[in-house]
């Protein structure tokens, strides 16, 4: 008997997430992966070059967009508490809930750390030269390195948790053969 055949096959789940939840999920995924990638790409570029500065500028603008997306997601989730379908029952439900809470906590922390790091230089955050967000508080420049390290550590924690989240979705689809993954897919 293989492990896969020993696992119970869940009843198919047909409840889909609403369009806004799906859109916010995939926007968040795109922005998180873009942010993580851009931060690692510019490390290979020479300091002061237009490409590196442009990538950093885009990273900051996407960070603002990610922070706004997180706020909307949290407000939407709170407003729709109880109407968002569970990914399973019992332990599956508790694990999914814990991972989501941890992801939200890390995303909020990451946004705060990103803003704090940028503001520690005393400059406003620029959003594609359309508007800027002035520093709401000041951070001692001596803490800049520590905040940058925390920002990097939280980024890795987010990526690790996202990988776990994606693996769980794939397990639901291919092992448990329920429709949990399909509920978050755009389209029909």
Check whether 8 has a pLDDT greater than 70: no
Please write the tens of the pLDDT for every residue from 41-75: 999 999 999 999 999 999 999 999 999 999 999 99
Please list, in sequence order, all residues whose beta carbon lies within 8 angstroms of the beta carbon of residue 187, skipping any fewer than 6 positions away. none
| Integer Cα distance of 78 and 20 in angstroms | 14
Look at residue 109 in the predicted model and tell me its pLDDT: 97
| Integer Cα distance of 58 and 48 in angstroms | 15
User: For the chain, which residues make up each domain, given as ranges?
Assistant: 17-184
Provide the CATH number for the domain formed by 17-184 in this structure.
1.20.950
Residue of 60, 62, 71, 65 whose CA lies nearest to 124:
60
User: According to the per-residue pLDDT averaged within each range, which of 16-20, 88-92, 150-154 is highest?
Assistant: 150-154
Please list, in sequence order, all residues whose beta carbon lies within 8 angstroms of the beta carbon of residue 85, skipping any fewer than 6 positions away. 13, 15, 16, 17, 183
Long-range contacts of 76-80 (CB under 8 A, 24+ apart): 76/20, 76/21, 76/24, 80/18, 80/21
Look at residue 39 in the predicted model and tell me its pLDDT: 95
Look at residue 131 in the predicted model and tell me its pLDDT: 96
Please write the tens of the pLDDT for every residue from 80-137: 876 666 656 678 778 888 888 999 999 999 999 999 999 988 889 999 999 999 998 8
């Amino acid at each position: 008997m293989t492990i896969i055949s020993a696992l119970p096959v869940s009843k198919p789940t047909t409840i889909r997430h609403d369009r806004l939840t799906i859109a916010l999920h995939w926007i968040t995924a795109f922005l998180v992966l873009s942010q993580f990638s851009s931060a690692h790409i510019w490390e290979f570029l020479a300091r002061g070059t237009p490409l590196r500065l442009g990538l950093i500028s885009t990273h900051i603008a996407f960070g603002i967009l990610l922070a706004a997306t997180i706020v909307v997601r949290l407000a939407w989730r709170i407003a729709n508490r109880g109407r968002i379908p569970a990914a399973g029952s019992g332990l599956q439900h508790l694990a999914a809930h814990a991972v989501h809470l941890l992801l939200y906590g890390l995303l909020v922390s990451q946004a705060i750390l990103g803003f704090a790091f940028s503001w520690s230089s005393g400059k406003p955050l620029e959003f594609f030269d359309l508007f800027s967000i002035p520093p709401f508080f000041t951070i001692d420049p001596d803490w800049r390195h520590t905040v940058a390290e925390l920002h990097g550590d939280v980024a890795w924690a987010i990526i690790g948790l996202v990988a776990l989240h994606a693996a769980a979705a794939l397990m639901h689809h291919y092992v448990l053969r329920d429709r949990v993954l399909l509920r978050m897919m755009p389209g029909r």
